[in-house]
Structure formats: structure tokens, C-alpha cells
């Protein structure tokens, strides 16, 4: 039996492949092909545009898929959300769909959109958001390069951003946030009720979540001479309890701990100063809580 899994093509493709690789699943694709191969014999993978993913999962053409919450909402798809996956194209954070207008535009609030024209790929979500704001505006579908359409073709845009850099580069400023979105692992409702498929998806999620947790973590291990252990543990007191084991011959202790990578550069010199020896930093593929 195989689980039919949709993997996103486009902006999320590389980030997804990297996360899966850290989870222990290698993905291979051929140039100009929508088929993918993995080293997991229980997976049948296919590349799908994130915009289409939830529709194929809802219909059962795919058992599951990785896509954005934004496209699930845009399509109005009835699917089971297995898990939120906190990664995007550039960084480990949600993305925002924002209302943006030219710097010189008088549009300062959603109310200023009354009677205006807006371009976006996220048409249904934008229309629903405008209705919540009590604003009547024309929303047209944009096939891409949305940030280049204001002010000559439309009055404002709703576009996705991680950092806002592209919008600023096109002379646009953010007026409001329409939707915050993140990557999700979704499943067909019937597939989720199948014992084998559900177990496979739960196992896949455990591995992916472990890979995401480990992304910014490293392992540290060191030897600590007798009499120096309290000083070393004092430096590590704000973290989860380290593993402490006695060294042979009463030579001291071996200490091992998992820490955030950005913490290492400050703590290693301090550990050395209080007597730690043989300090080793090593990368982690997965951390399973």
C-alpha cells in the first residue's frame, strides 16, 4: 500500500525538500516533470501547485499534501489538517497576505478602498475580508507580478510577503494584514479514517516536526574535571537539564545537552573559562520531544 502525497512545486518546493531530507526522506525530481521519487517505498509522491493542492486532496485524488493554509481557505476545501508546519520559502515563520498601496496613494485604511480596484491571487479570501470591513470594492484575479500593477492598473493589491522587501522595492507600503498563513500537512477526510493511512501520516508528521524542531538546535558535549561541574551546570541552568555521566577512573563528568544554535557562540567561551574541556558541537537532524 502507498500513501499518495502531494508535494508543493514552486516557491515552497526547495524548503519542503530540505525539511523532508532532515526528516529522513529524500526526494528526487526530474526537470520539467511533475512526478517525484522518494526513498520511502510507502510514499507515492507528486508535485502539485500549492494553489491546487487542497482541491485534489479534498476529492481524494491525493491522500494528503503539503500546502499553505491560505490556499485551503481560498479554495474552501473540506480537508483534515494533520498539522501546522512552521516553515516558509525564506524563514521559519508564517507569511502574511497584506493590503498594499503605493507610497503616494491616499489609501490609508481599508475604508479608503470603497469603490476602488484591487488585484490579487487570493480573490475569495480578499472578498470575504472586504465584506467583514464593510467595504465594496472590485477584486480582480492577478496571474502574477501583482506588485507591479499599482498604481497604473489597479488602486491597491493584496499580496503575500515574508519580509516586505519586494513591496518596498516597488514603492508600496502595507496598509493592513488580510490573512496570516503557514504551511500545513492536510489529508483527505476519508483517507484520515483509514487506519493504515492515518498511521503513516502521523508517523510522517512526527518526523517532520522533529526536523523542524532541530532546525535551529545543536548538540553540545564536553568533559568536566572534578570540582568544576557546579560551575558548568550554573551556565546551563536556564536550559533543559543536561545529561551528566561519570568519566572512567573518577576523572570528572561527561555533560551533554541540546541548545539553540544562536546560544552556542556565547556559552562555549564561558564553558571553557569555567573549566570545561573537549567541547564538541554537532548538528541535529531531528529532535523528538
- b (16+ CB within 10 A) / e for 168-203: eebebbebbebbebbbbbbbbeebbebeebbebbee
Shared-domain flag, residues 140 and 165: yes
State the CATH number of the domain containing residue 27.
Answer: 3.40.190.10
Would you tell me the crossing angle of helices 13-22 and 195-214 to the nearest 10 degrees? 90
CA distance 11 to 9: 7
Number of separate domains in the chain = 3
Same domain, 81 and 188: yes
Residues 31 and 152 in one domain: no
Do both 79 and 113 map to the same domain? no
The reply to whether 197 falls in a domain is yes
Q: What average pLDDT does the segment 222-236 reach?
A: 93
Residues 6+ apart with CB under 8 A from 20: 7, 26, 27, 38, 208, 211
How far is residue 121's CA from residue 110's CA, in Å, rounded to a whole number? Answer: 18
Question: Mean pLDDT across the chain, nearest whole number?
Answer: 92
What's 237's domain CATH number?
3.30.70.120
Please check whether residue 289 lies inside any domain of the structure.
no
Lowest mean pLDDT, pick from 69-73, 197-201, 265-269 = 265-269
pLDDT, tens digit, 9 for 90 and up, residues 108-118? 999 999 999 99
Average pLDDT on 120-141 reads 97
Give the pTM.
Answer: 0.88
Q: What is the pLDDT of residue 88?
A: 74
Coil vs helix vs strand at 289 = coil
Pair (62, 73) in one structural domain: yes
My answer on whether 128 and 198 are in the same domain is no
Say yes or no: 101 and 123 in one domain. Answer: yes
pLDDT tens, residue by residue, 41-68: 999 999 999 999 999 999 999 999 999 9
Q: What is the structure's pLDDT at 32?
A: 67
Parent domain of 70 = 3-90+183-214
Q: Both 99 and 159 in a single domain?
A: yes
Same domain as 195, residue 165: no
Q: What is the pLDDT of residues 2-52, one digit of tens each?
A: 999 999 998 889 999 999 999 999 999 877 667 889 999 999 999 999 999
Q: Are residues 85 and 119 in the same domain?
A: no
> Do residue 187 and residue 236 come from a single domain?
no
* Entry field: residues in the chain: 289
Cα separation of 90 and 104, whole Å?
A: 29
CA dist 49 → 13, 67, 68, 242 (Å): 10, 8, 10, 44
How far CA 274 is from CA of 89, 155, 218, 283, in Å, comes to 41, 62, 21, 24
Give the per-residue pLDDT at 231. Answer: 94
| 288 lies in some domain | no
Query: HSE-up of 67 (CA within 13 Å, CB side)?
Result: 31
90 compared with 151, residue with greater pLDDT: 151
The helix, strand and coil proportions of the chain, stated in percent and rounded to the nearest 5, come to 35, 35, 35
**188 and 86 belong to one structural domain:** yes
Which one of 192, 214, 236 terminates a domain?
214
pLDDT value for 145 = 87
In this prediction, residue 90 carries a pLDDT of 59
The verdict on residue 62 lying in a domain is yes
Amino acid at each position: 500500500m502507498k500513501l499518495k502525497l502531494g508535494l508543493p512545486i514552486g516557491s515552497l518546493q526547495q524548503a519542503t525538500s530540505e525539511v523532508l531530507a532532515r526528516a529522513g526522506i529524500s526526494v528526487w525530481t526530474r526537470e520539467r516533470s511533475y512526478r517525484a521519487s522518494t526513498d520511502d517505498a510507502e510514499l507515492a509522491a507528486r508535485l502539485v501547485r500549492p494553489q491546487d493542492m487542497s482541491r485534489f486532496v479534498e476529492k481524494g485524488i491525493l491522500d494528503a499534501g503539503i500546502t499553505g493554509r491560505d490556499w485551503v481557505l481560498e479554495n474552501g476545501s473540506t480537508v483534515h489538517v494533520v498539522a501546522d508546519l512552521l516553515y516558509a520559502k525564506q524563514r521559519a515563520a508564517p507569511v502574511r497576505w497584506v493590503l498594499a498601496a503605493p507610497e503616494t496613494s491616499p489609501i490609508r485604511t481599508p475604508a479608503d478602498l470603497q469603490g476602488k480596484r484591487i488585484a490579487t491571487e487570493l480573490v475569495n479570501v480578499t472578498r470575504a475580508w472586504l465584506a467583514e470591513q464593510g467595504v465594496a470594492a472590485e477584486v480582480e484575479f492577478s496571474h502574477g507580478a501583482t506588485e507591479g500593477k499599482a498604481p497604473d492598473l489597479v488602486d491597491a493589491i493584496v499580496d503575500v510577503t515574508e519580509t516586505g522587501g519586494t513591496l518596498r522595492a516597488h514603492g508600496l507600503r502595507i496598509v493592513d494584514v488580510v490573512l496570516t498563513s503557514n504551511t500545513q500537512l492536510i489529508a483527505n477526510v476519508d483517507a484520515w479514517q483509514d487506519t493504515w493511512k492515518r498511521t503513516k501520516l502521523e508517523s510522517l508528521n512526527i518526523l517532520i516536526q522533529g526536523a523542524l524542531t532541530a532546525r535551529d538546535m545543536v548538540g553540545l558535549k564536553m568533559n568536566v574535571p572534578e570540582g568544576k561541574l557546579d560551575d558548568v551546570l550554573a551556565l546551563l541552568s536556564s536550559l533543559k537539564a543536561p545529561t551528566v555521566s561519570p568519566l572512567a577512573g573518577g576523572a570528572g563528568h561527561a555533560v551533554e545537552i541540546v541548545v539553540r544554535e544562536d546560544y552556542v557562540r556565547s556559552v562555549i567561551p564561558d564553558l571553557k573559562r569555567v573549566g570545561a574541556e573537549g567541547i564538541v558541537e554537532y548538528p541535529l537532524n531531528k529532535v523528538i520531544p
